Structure formats: structure tokens, C-alpha cells
Structure 1
Amino acid sequence: MADIIVGENRIHYEQVGDGPNLILLPTLLAEMSVYDSVIDELSLHFRVTRMNFPGFGSSTGPIKQNIEAYADLISSAIKELSLPPDTHLIGNGFGGFVAGTIAIHHGTIINKLVLVDTGAAFPDQAKEPLRILANKAKSEGMESVLDLAIKRMFPEDFIIKNKSIVDIRKQYLSKADPELFANAALGLTSLDNNPKLDRITNPTLIIVGLADATTPPQLSYDLHKGINNSQLIELPGIGHCPQLQDPSKFLDSVLPFLSP
């Protein structure tokens, strides 16, 4: 793992494997380790670059409280790392909101796009939980939001049966910077990419876990409707992070789409 300086920010990243380039962006409820269960297989096919957003790992702020700022930052990091325009991009949750925004505003710097349990905008009723998470993190610290975050990541039966995975997720999330975690969560409440989805011309795959308690599946259906010629894969019983909950299903969905 290494860091690069992009403007005022330090970006924490890791590169493994050989082949066509692939970037992985994580959900707000985790950081780059959310891809640990699939990174080995992906690196057999791709040169994989995974990054942490400001406030996670050694990535630092400051950053404005809007998703466009995160998209600009990651786009600048892509250029700083000299990744070519045939680089594929996968974004999960928050990372998917950022990835979609990159495709809208900087679409020529990437090739294929995979949007996992994400959307173009949160409906009003789904914004309040984001504000609650942000306010608790800022006022009480990251420990206060760990249980809430886990319930948003996984279905209840998975949480009960997979204590070791849950404990690891809590351990990583507890290390996040609470102010920057809150900044990202609140940034989601002002985003509305729905009117801009027709600007996405990259080949796009949308993956939706039908048991996602964080990003309602309807948001994925809206993406599919708004992005021309996009593909949609539904994963019954899967929550917000299919790469953690069922790595095989995630890989079976992603690899055929990304193959030449």
C-alpha cells in the first residue's frame, strides 16, 4: 500500500495484479478492505487499484461536502497514477455514487463502469438516516455508529451467522475520521444525478442486492432506466456489500461483464 498527494489531499491506495486496469471504490460504511474477499481473484485478471476516500486509512481531507468534489479528487488521483482511459471502474454504495459522478463529468478517463448497490440520488425519506449517522459520528465518535452501520451493510441473518466478519468490519470502521465520515454522508443528501444519467456513455453494469437496507433497490432500477444500454443483475437475499456477503456471486456478475 502507498500514498499519493493530490492537491491538498493524501490518497491511500493499493495496486496488485497484472492486466487491464481496474479501480475499486468502497462504500462509506467500509474502506478498501471491503474488497478483501475478491481482490485475489480480480488480480488474476486485472491490475487492480483500490483507494480510500478522505478519512479512511491514511487518506486525508479537506474536501467539500458534495459528491462532485469526491469525483474530482478520484479523477485527479487516476490521472496522477497515470491510469489509461481503458481503465474499468467499480463503485459500491458511496463509491458508486462517486463512480457515477465520475462517469457523468469525467467519463472519458474510464472505460466500463460497474455500480454496486448505489444510485443517482436518495429519496427524502432515506436522507434522514444519513443525517443521523453523520450527527452521531460527529458528536459521539465512530463507536456510536458501528451497530447502525452493520445493520445497513448486512441482512440480520447474515449478521447473526458471521460474527467474525461483523467484528472485522467494526474494527475497520471504528478507525475512520468522524468528521470526514459525516462530511461524506451529508454530501449524499444533496446529490441528484437523475437528470444527468443520460450523459453516461460508458458500458455500465448495475448490481443490486435485493436485501440492501442502505440503498433501496429502487435506486438501482432508476439507474438502469436512466443509463442507456445498461445491464442489471439482481442478487436475492444479498445486502449492501455483495463482495463481502457472497464473493462468488459478485465475481460471477462482474467478470463476464469486464472481459474483453
Structure 2
Amino acid sequence: MAERVTTILNEVNVIRTGPRGGTPVVFLHGVGLDLTSWSDQIEKLHHEFDVIAFDFPAHGLSKPLEGELTFVKFANVLFQLIEELSLGPVHLVGISFGGMVAQTAAGMRPDLVRSIALLGSACDFAENVRGILRERAEFVKNQGMLPLLPISLERYFTADFHQKRPDVIDRIKKLIYQQDPLVHAAMWNMISILDTKRELQEISLPALIIVGSEDTSTPVAAAQDLAEALRTELLHVVPNVSHMLNLEAPEAINNLLLDFLRSHRKAF
């Protein structure tokens, strides 16, 4: 009997849609969520782009990573997917934590990245914010996921969106609740030591930065730091939305992504 070969595709839940051989676009989701958080963008982009999205390890249907969690390990998962799917250089679109993985990947292997679009993300944090993130990790470790839900959802969406779209709030609530508290805590401890600014300053890639005007998790100042590090003037502040802006303002985000990706189809 032939030995079963273990590949990253056996470990990670991946979907792919759109024209094969077209421009590959890979979506990277936020902490506690899964690839379905990109549904609006996948629906819009798959008509003209080769769209790939996956659940990060220990999220959705993907298996957990072994040992200590690091951004390098998450980036290596991405590299393995690119290789096993024979994608070549890809356009990376990441939100929040997904944007941090995208930054790490671009710094490690710029040859595999055509461009980078970062939504509601950051490249470093002030020391007091790092302390808050570590406290969040301890809170989850000690209290579990349920008490965290109202805190997270208040940060992720505006009060207006909570009122208008309780269905989306409910869907995200269920995704977060299904997380293993110890894994979730480890994710926040990992995020608390993020610092990619120097690596970003050393790469040269087309970059798009998008942030919600009401985002308190990664505010406009964080987006400005990213734009400066990446030397891009493509910084867009979407009014009246918070951290999960691709869910709260899908049409605006879709239009910004389409304009950017179309303009860099033939990069590299």
C-alpha cells in the first residue's frame, strides 16, 4: 500500500474560484474568523481573478499548528499553499491579523508577492497597547470565549451596523465562540509582539492601505504608519465603519480592491 503523502492541503481548508491561470489573489482573514468573512469580496472578484481563500490553522476547518505560534509559521503555511497550488507570485489581501501575516510574508519572500492590500492592520504597537493585548490573552485564557464576545464585537463593528445587520453580528459571534480559548490567547500574545516596520521599509511592492474611520483597534494613525513604511500614497479611510470594514462596507472595499488589483495585473 502506498504511503499517504501529507501536504499542507491535507491540513488547511482552502477554496479556489475564478479563472485558472488568471491573476491569483489570496485572502487572509482575521483572528477567530474564517475564510467566509471574505464572502462579499470573493463573490465580486472571482469573475476576473483566480481567487484563493483559506482558514488559518486552528480556525474554521484547518488543523492547528504544533508548538509556539509565530507569524513566521503562519507565513510558511501561505508559502506552502502557493507552492502546492502552483500559483506563483500572488496578490495578498489581508485584514487585521491576516494583514500582519501578509506583511510577514512580503518581508520574507517578496518574490512570491505581486502586491499587498492591508485592511484594518498595523505594523507595530505602542508599549501600552502591547500590554492591553497581553491582558486580552490572559482574559481569554482565564475566562473563556463567551465573556470576550461583547468586547470583540463592540470593537469590530459600529453601533449602527449592530442595529442594521444582526445577522452578520450573529455569524461572527458564532465563529469567535467556536475558537479554542488557549489558541485564541496564544494568538493575541503573538500579535502583542508584532513589529514588521523595518522589513516593510526594505521591500518594494505595490501597496494599498484601507482603514475604517471609526476603527479603534488599528486606527487611522496605524494605517498611516503602514503607508509610510511601504512608501505608498494609496491610503483610503472609509467613513463611518470600524475594524471589520470588509463586512461593514463591502461595496466600498470591493471597489477599492478592484481598482487596485486591475492596475497591477501585470506586476512582475
TM-score computed with the length of structure 1 as normaliser = 0.91
Aligned residue number for residue 6 of structure 1: 8
Distance 2:67 2:8 in 1: 12
Deviations 1:56-109 (A, max 9, x none): 112222253332222222222222222111x21100000001101111111111
Residues 63-72 or 144-153, more deviating: 63-72
Aligned residue number for residue 73 of structure 1: 77
Deviations 1:12-59 (A, max 9, x none): 211112231110000114221111122211111211111111211122
Shift of residue 230, structure 1, vs aligned partner? 4.8
Matches within 5 A, 1:55-134: 55-59=58-62, 60-85=64-89, 87-134=90-137
The alignment status of 1:251 with 2:259, answered yes or no, reads: no
Q: Structure 1 vs Structure 2: percent identity of aligned residues?
A: 28
Distance 1:37 1:47 in 2: 15
Distance 1:213 1:10 in 2: 34
Q: List structure 1 runs of 4+ shifted beyond 6 angstroms.
A: none
Aligned residue number for residue 48 of structure 1: 51
Consecutive unaligned residues of structure 1, counting only runs of 5 or more, are: none
Q: Which amino acid aligns with 2:81?
A: A
Which residue of the other structure, out of 131, 134, 147, is the alignment partner of 2:150?
147
Alpha carbons 1:66, 1:191 under 8 Å: kept: no
Distance 1:238 1:219 in 2: 16
Residues 33-42 or 131-140, more deviating: 131-140
Matches within 5 A, 1:105-254: 105-254=108-257
Distance 1:13 1:93 in 2: 19
Distance 1:133 1:58 in 2: 25
Alpha carbons 1:159, 1:166 under 8 Å: kept: yes
Consecutive unaligned residues of structure 2, counting only runs of 5 or more, are: 1-5
* SS, match of residue 111 in structure 1: strand
TM-score computed with the length of structure 2 as normaliser = 0.89
Distance 1:5 1:230 in 2: 39
The alignment status of 1:25 with 2:32, answered yes or no, reads: no
* SS, match of residue 13 in structure 2: strand
Aligned residue number for residue 39 of structure 1: 42
Alpha carbons 1:38, 1:247 under 8 Å: kept: yes
Alpha carbons 2:211, 2:219 under 8 Å: kept: no
Identify if the C-alpha distance between structure 1 residues 80 and 230 changes in structure 2 by more than 3 Å, giving closer, same or farther.
Answer: farther
* SS, match of residue 22 in structure 1: strand
Aligned residue number for residue 3 of structure 2: none
* SS, match of residue 58 in structure 1: coil
